Amino acid sequence: MNIEEAREYCLAKKGVTEGLPFGPDALVFKVLGKMFATLSMGTDTQMNLKCDPEKAEELRAQYPYIIPGYHMNKKHWNTVVFEGATDDRLVEELIDHSYDLVVAKLKKADREALKELD
């Protein structure tokens, strides 16, 4: 997966916006204002994704391109280094997992509003 494919995959999800709140090299994806992914656009293309802590540890042990979240809470975030990532479907699943974790923590009214979006 490359940077543009990751960006498009994130933006295809309901209620997602993108922005550059941390500067021009870190694209941030939010669902209804809550961050679920960051995409580094510097020399090393990588993506931070929220992850269940137990699953995060398992993924890091299994895949060398998944490491503790760079500049994030390492218990709840993983970094996927695209240069080593060989399984696009896994990256999509990790994006979905991150998005779903954040949606589950939204207020009930926000979750209901999200369901109504096209």
pLDDT tens per residue, range 25-57: 899 999 999 999 999 987 678 999 999 999 999
CATH 3.20.20.70 fits domain 3-106:
no
Provide the pLDDT for residue 43.
67
User: Using CB atoms within 10 A of its CB, is residue 77 exposed (0-12), middle (13-18) or buried (19+)?
Assistant: buried
The least confident of 30-34, 58-62, 101-105, 114-118 is: 114-118
Q: Specify the pairing of strand 77-81 against strand 66-68.
A: antiparallel
Question: pTM for the whole thing?
Answer: 0.94
Percent of the chain at pLDDT above 70?
Answer: 98
For the chain, domain boundaries: 3-106
- What is the band of 71 on the pLDDT scale with cuts at 50, 70, 90? confident
